[in-house]
Amino acid sequence: MSGDAAASGQLVHQAVESPGNEKIRYVVIIGFGLAGRTTANNVEDRGIAFSVIETNPDTVTRCTKGGMNIILGDARDPVILRRAQIERATDIAVTVPSDQITLDVVEQARKLNPTARIVARCTFVSGGLEATRRGADDVVIAEQVVAREFGQVIASSLEQ
């Protein structure tokens, strides 16, 4: 157990390996807005265990009552990430709408778990490039998604 985890009284779970020495899938989702909820639904539909870190206390209270493994806190804090069992994660989805928070979380998560696949949400290409530099494996960039959608809508309307 690390010093930070021991000081906080949190048990740190190491990645559980399957009989084939492969990590059992476990996902940590940062943020529970629309992107985070969609991510959680996809993970849950596949029967994969996950935890969520969220800063909105009302959301955490509501979801905890429903049985979700959701933690109140700031994911930039390593203690909060450890509480979500970041060391065990095979996948990390950083879905918050703030590029600076995303960049900070990606950097911290990568330090705590060098092998997990990190998917980060960014607003601009520049933020996506920085997220990749800090350790994200994949980046969803809002301006690219909007550009693609606009292109499809315009192309479709011009065909009419």
Distance between CA 93 and CA 23 in Å, rounded? 17
Largest CA distance in the chain: 65
Q: What is the predicted pLDDT for the residue at 9?
A: 33
Which residues lie across from 91 on neighbouring strands? 27, 117
**Confidence (pLDDT) at 12:** 33
Q: Which of 68, 34, 76 is nearest to 52 (CA)?
A: 68
Q: Give the pLDDT score at 121.
A: 98
Single pTM value for the model: 0.84
According to the model, what pLDDT value does residue 160 have? 86
- What pLDDT, on the 0 to 100 scale, is given for residue 21? 56
Q: What is the mean pLDDT of each run of 10 residues along the chain (160 residues)?
A: 33 44 88 98 97 98 95 98 98 98 98 98 97 98 96 94
pLDDT at 82: 98
- Burial zone of 130 (CB within 10 Å; 0-12 exposed, 13-18 middle, 19+ buried): buried
CB 29 within 8 A of CB 40: yes
- Rounded Cα–Cα distance for residues 51 and 43 (Å): 10
Question: How many C-beta atoms surround the C-beta of residue 60 within 10 A?
Answer: 19
Q: What is the pLDDT of residue 16?
A: 46
What is the DSSP annotation of 85-150? TGGG-SEEEE--S-HHHHHHHHHHHHHH-SSSEEEEEESSHHHHHHHHHHT-SEEEEHHHHHHHHH
Structural tokens at position 119: 């998917």
